[in-house]
Structure 1
């Protein structure tokens, strides 16, 4: 038995050494999260308008087309509780911040990353933003997520072949991969997505998500009140099929949060609804609930107009 254990140890030890040696090399390869964190560390004190939120903002608002000094700190599946952590991390640096933009979506109140299918993304917030979310050791290591051969390939390409890491956002954080024209069937993707976004709002998990996001929103609003920053909640454009397929009660309860805050704190909070805005057509959409780059340019200009009004 001792010999067997010894043989196992002799096999496992070098494997662990290899894995742990690879870990720091993997972490130093630039990615969407490390790039955004580095930008905010260096430039958060110059930003006037901060976009936060999930993919609806990531692909929906392009600071390149804003007349303000804006930055898109949103990302795919980034829930409101994570938006608060990002805002709070650089709390000493927001010297010029005047507006915070947050998504007011069908699913935003009922979704948190730790209960989503892509929960694996939590690892990126822990490693590259320095958050300590959860106790799962897998969420604190690159090497334990993904295939070993893929990790070897990444290291080889970046360090030995000198290839640049693939970053699919521009230098102000906007996601550039949803191009016009879209090759998606808008009606089909609308039906598929609305099924995924519709939840049992009485289910304990989604009920808790709602409460967690509500706490995060309250934190963000309190932060804004103290610093005389305005918060804009924005419902981004979606297809007619997506809108019609939504559960009325889920949509009502979600949007009530943002509308009520706009009524209760009219100096700080504002709600703008573009979900069915007539200026947007299916040609502006990448799929049922995301804009393409052309639609994002249009939405950025419209939001700029709102910001200009609120600045007067």
Structure 2
């Protein structure tokens, strides 16, 4: 029996060692979530404009091109549910906040859960959307999953190699493919790199649009998000914070493959809500037509984001005299 138990222990030992290693690693490693939140806390007293939204706002709105002191707290796949939760958690640390930018994309009304990313926002922002106890107990097996944990470790090792070879600092957190690891985050923003562009093909745009087309039938989720938007805008109004809702530009190959009847219906309803509670809604879906400005069919690169945000800044100044007067 002792021999059997010893063999059993030796069999499971590698799994135990790997698990302990990754549980420690995943609790200590820096992430883009931690980096964004840390930057917000460091600059909180100066922030006048907070940018929320999913990956479109995350990559496409360059805070340095806005006249107000802006900070980008948008994130990949971030829903309005989490935009609002982050706002609620951080608002008391932002005494000079005057504007909130909220992105309205084709699918914004049709989801709240971020899937696996719900766990990550719990780990780094402390927002608990009914995260189960197993996920809280093991970040390796349930929180990130082994596949993502190994990818993060591989990325860390690769960054160290690049830093050594080029004698330059890399970012010390995991970023998506297409982001330059030698770049630096500025006011919460680290963009897709510009340069030699990959050709945007019709098939890839169709496939991307199909992902979002599959979400837009969730009418119960839509109703919840409409209710959330009204509540959010009401709270901003009570705090004398101006909401600015923005639909970000997408490539025309993508735009022609989404259900534009649904999009127009959603835009009209959101416009009516904004008119009721105050603020502004800007629709830029077709604004950027130059292929060289895009990283892929629904995200811009650094140059596109800078070009677009300059226009956004002009439109905010034209809409709000107090913004223009201040700057």
Summarize the alignment of residues 10-159 of structure 1 with structure 2, pairs less than 5 Å apart: 12=12, 15-16=15-16, 19-20=19-20, 22-114=22-114, 119-137=115-133, 139-140=135-136, 141-144=138-141, 145-147=145-147, 150=151
Contact 1:72 1:174 in 2 (8 A): yes
For normalisation by structure 1, the TM-score amounts to 0.83
Q: CA deviation at 1:28?
A: 1.9
For normalisation by structure 2, the TM-score amounts to 0.80
**Mapped pair 1:177 → 2:192:** yes
Q: What residue ranges of structure 2 are gaps of 5+ in the alignment? A: 176-183, 323-327
Q: Deviations over 1:42-69 (max 9, x none)?
A: 3223211111101111111111222221
Q: Deviations over 1:49-93 (max 9, x none)?
A: 111101111111111222221111111111111111111111211
Contact 2:156 2:174 in 1 (8 A): no
Cα distance change, pair 175–5 in 1 and its aligned pair in 2 (3 A): same
- Distance in structure 2 (CA, Å) of the matches to 1:152 and 1:284: 32
State how many pairs are aligned: 302
Q: CA deviation at 1:182?
A: 2.2
Cα distance change, pair 156–62 in 1 and its aligned pair in 2 (3 A): closer
Could you tell me which residue of structure 2 aligns to residue 283 of structure 1?
292
Could you tell me which residue of structure 2 aligns to residue 304 of structure 1?
313
Cα distance change, pair 146–179 in 1 and its aligned pair in 2 (3 A): farther
- Distance in structure 2 (CA, Å) of the matches to 1:188 and 1:146: 31
Deviates most, 179-188 or 122-131: 179-188
Contact 2:112 2:221 in 1 (8 A): yes
- Distance in structure 1 (CA, Å) of the matches to 2:215 and 2:76: 22
**Mapped pair 1:231 → 2:236:** no
Contact 2:98 2:242 in 1 (8 A): yes
Q: Deviations over 1:152-180 (max 9, x none)?
A: 65787899x99852454622222322424
Q: Deviations over 1:169-214 (max 9, x none)?
A: 6222223224244213253432221111113644xxx223323323
Cα distance change, pair 12–52 in 1 and its aligned pair in 2 (3 A): same
Could you tell me which residue of structure 2 aligns to residue 240 of structure 1?
252
User: Which SS does the other structure have where 2:245 is aligned?
Assistant: strand
Q: Aligned Cα RMSD in Å?
A: 3.1
- Distance in structure 2 (CA, Å) of the matches to 1:137 and 1:17: 22
User: Which SS does the other structure have where 2:102 is aligned?
Assistant: strand
Could you tell me which residue of structure 1 aligns to residue 206 of structure 2?
191
Cα distance change, pair 213–24 in 1 and its aligned pair in 2 (3 A): farther
Contact 2:111 2:215 in 1 (8 A): no
